[in-house]
Amino acid sequence: MNRRFAQGFDGETERHPREAVEAVVALGANLGDRAETMAAAIKDLARVPLVDAVRVSEPIESVAMKPEGPDASAPAYLNAVAILTTRLAPSVLLGYLHTIEQRHGRERSTRRSAREGGWEDRTLDLDLIAYGDVVSDDSDLLLPHPRAAERDFVLGPWLAVDPDAVLPGVGRVDEALRRLRGDR
């Protein structure tokens, strides 16, 4: 395993058990057998070491998002949100998410930061949306996810799993979803 992923968020090597924290992971797929890939990815998440529980929303379908906005001509996405109870450091968890993506055929055509976004079609996309109340502007570990509050397909499923969810730096997820939809 890459040494970078063997270190905790604070740079210290993981040697002592951490307290469990809830991490929010968004799942998306728009190529291949989307439902089968997502079901297998959820099983993979449950098998990650130091992940004690996984709660998952029902999948929803959404239009592909491109830099120019929604693209109805691209294959539609199947999206869900999983809340993991884990004792892994966020950087280690992110490493496992990337490994699971690769296992399911994810190819990253260009290296982009989470802030820029990856807009290509994909067999599986796993985004670390939030990790407890951690806020990080590290280019390798942006927390919370910089575009989470702009994504109905993240906020809606997240609320289905946790009606009291809070997005660090933004506030209650239900209120963020209302603002996004233009509801008052």
Residue 180 CB: number of other CB atoms within 10 A? 14
- Bridge partners (DSSP) of residue 136 are 143
What is the per-residue DSSP string for 60-98?
EEEPEEETTEEETTSPPEEEEEEEEEE-S-HHHHHHHHH
Amino acid at 164: D
Please say whether the beta carbons of 81 and 59 come within 8 A.
no
* Amino acid 66: pLDDT: 78
Set out the domains of the chain in order of their start, with CATH numbers.
3-181 (3.30.70.560)
**Residues whose CB is less than 8 angstroms from the CB of residue 139 and which lie 6 or more positions away in sequence, other chains included:** 113, 115
Query: pTM of this prediction?
Result: 0.84
Return averaged pLDDT per consecutive 10 residues of the chain, 184 residues in all. Answer: 37 61 96 96 97 97 85 92 97 96 76 50 93 92 93 96 96 96 76
pLDDT digits (tens, 9 = 90+) for 63-73: 988 778 788 88
pLDDT of residue 184: 52
